[in-house]
């Protein structure tokens, strides 16, 4: 029986991908191990979102290759987002890796192992029946679509994940039921943009219908929506959230900045006025709704005035949580050709100032739940 180790880097969508690879390998008779030193094959599911993530992915691959040199590991596979974008460079830089598979090629994982005589080609159990032994986490992720059609200037995700495509609603319900059978108490719906779900299928399904189906066809206590562009957060979606106690009253919607000038350079569809109006409508329809957003500081051309505008807007909007990121230029994006004119020290300082500001806002927002 082939013993394999699986290293997962990056976002929750990568976590879902790794669970599927793991299930497929187990279904073909492989055995997962926690200690990579006990593995015969190591699979590294890479992230290529920003430079720090790429560096972490390369480090994980190099660590796996060292174990191969020691003799226990027979093969190292690098798969996923970073490979999709940089396969040719990686082939030259990391000859110790046996196989590189981008996102568009990961259906080749099992066949490559079979062709190398490392894995039998026959199914030993139905795929997806068992992910791994032992206790499974109570919080699980359900990826409802792949790819992204948005054209944000700073983002390389469409280059790694391709165009947006939604998975069939019945398949997602069955997957949720499987996760429930494995003990899931909370399911986080994940995608590059949940609110875009169903538009490409043209069969009338959208995120509200999916949520209603999950409420109807499962008994999972908590269903949470992670990452929706505000353009797709409709009154119908908000009404479904408000009407179902098992759908967590939480939205994660990326704002990215509070200065209209910066938002325009970022090629974001919203402006201050739009964000203000939409946030007010969310809170009016869904009482006690918690809203998280994310912002980028240090985008090309961001002045101190732009930054202070962002701070003032966060004070005004009173988000429950905010994720803050420093701008990192990514090859192939529209922003890559812009002059990265904000010093790294200033980016980090602005990040820390936002974090300090938001700590106070978050504490104040949480006070409304005291005694409840």
- Per-residue pLDDT reduced to its tens digit, 127-165: 444 444 445 678 999 999 999 999 999 998 888 888 999
Residue 51 has a pLDDT of 82
Q: Is the pLDDT of residue 98 over 80?
A: yes
Tokens found for residue 318: 């009173």
Do both 34 and 146 map to the same domain? no
Q: Are residues 153 and 111 in the same domain?
A: no
In the sheet that 139-143 helps form, which strands lie side by side, from edge to edge?
Answer: 139-143, 186-190, 222-225
User: Domain containing 304 — which CATH number?
Assistant: 3.80.30.20
Residues 355 and 235 reside in one and the same domain:
yes
Q: Are 157 and 145 in contact (CB under 8 A)?
A: no
Average confidence (pLDDT) over 169-174: 96
Residue 310 has what pLDDT? 98
Q: Is residue 121 part of a domain?
A: no
pLDDT tens digits, one per residue of 205-259: 999 999 999 999 999 999 999 999 998 999 999 999 999 999 999 999 999 999 9
- Do 250 and 356 belong together in one domain? yes
| pLDDT in the model for residue 62 | 92
Mean pLDDT, the chain, whole residue set: 91
Question: For position 11, which CATH number holds?
Answer: 3.40.50.12160
Domain-located, residue 130: no
Phi, psi of 44 (to 5 degrees): -110, 115
Q: Is there a domain that residue 132 lies in?
A: no
- How many domains does one find in the chain? 2
DSSP state of 329: -
**How far from chain centre, in Å, is Cα 190?**
7
Is 0.85 surpassed by the pTM of this model? no
The answer on 152 and 109 residing in a single domain is no
The answer to whether residue 27 scores a pLDDT higher than 80 is: yes
pLDDT at 133: 44
- Does 87 lie in the same domain as 146? no
Closest Cα to residue 369, out of 252, 292, 290?
290
Q: What is the pLDDT of residue 128?
A: 44
DSSP 256: B
Q: How confident is the model at residue 358 (pLDDT cuts 50, 70, 90)?
A: very high
Domain with 208 in it: 140-369
Range among 30-44, 67-81, 123-137, 276-290 with highest mean pLDDT value:
276-290
Residues 255 and 320 in one domain: yes
The answer to whether position 131 is within a domain reads no
- Looking at 65, 99, 115, which one is the last position of a domain? 115
């Amino acid at each position: 029986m082939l013993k394999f180790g699986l290293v997962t880097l990056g976002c929750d969508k990568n976590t879902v991908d790794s669970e599927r690879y793991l299930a497929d390998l187990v279904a073909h008779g492989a055995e997962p191990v926690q200690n990579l030193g006990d593995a015969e094959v190591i699979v590294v599911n890479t992230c290529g979102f920003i430079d720090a993530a790429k560096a972490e992915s390369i480090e994980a691959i190099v660590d796996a290759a060292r174990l191969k040199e020691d003799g226990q590991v027979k093969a190292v596979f690098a798969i996923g987002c970073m490979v999709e974008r940089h396969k040719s460079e990686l082939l030259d830089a990391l000859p110790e890796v046996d196989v590189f598979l981008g996102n568009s090629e990961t259906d080749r994982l099992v066949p490559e192992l079979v062709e190398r005589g490392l894995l039998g080609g026959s199914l030993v159990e139905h795929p997806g029946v068992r992910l791994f032994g032992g206790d499974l986490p109570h919080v699980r992720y359900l990826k409802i679509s792949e790819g992204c059609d948005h054209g944000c200037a700073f983002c390389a995700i469409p280059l790694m994940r391709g165009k947006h495509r939604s998975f069939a609603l019945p398949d997602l319900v069955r997957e949720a039921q499987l996760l429930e059978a494995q003990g899931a108490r909370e399911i986080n719906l994940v995608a590059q943009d949940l609110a875009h779900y169903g538009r490409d299928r043209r069969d009338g399904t959208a995120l509200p219908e999916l949520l209603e189906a999950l409420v109807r066809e499962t008994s999972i206590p908590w269903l949470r929506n992670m990452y929706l562009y505000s353009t797709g957060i409709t009154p119908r979606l908000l009404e479904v959230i408000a009407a179902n106690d098992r759908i967590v009253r939480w939205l994660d919607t990326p704002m990215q900045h509070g200065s209209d000038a910066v938002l325009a350079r970022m090629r974001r569809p919203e402006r201050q006025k739009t964000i203000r109006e939409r946030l007010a409508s969310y809170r009016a329809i869904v009482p006690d709704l918690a809203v998280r957003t994310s912002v980028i500081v240090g985008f090309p051309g961001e002045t101190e005035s732009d930054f202070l505008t962002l701070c003032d807007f966060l004070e005004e909007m009173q988000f429950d949580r905010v994720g803050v990121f420093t701008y990192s230029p990514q090859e192939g994006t529209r922003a890559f050709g812009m002059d990265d004119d904000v010093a790294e020290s200033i980016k980090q300082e602005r990040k820390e100032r936002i974090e300090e500001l938001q700590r106070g806002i978050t504490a104040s927002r949480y006070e409304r739940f005291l005694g409840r």
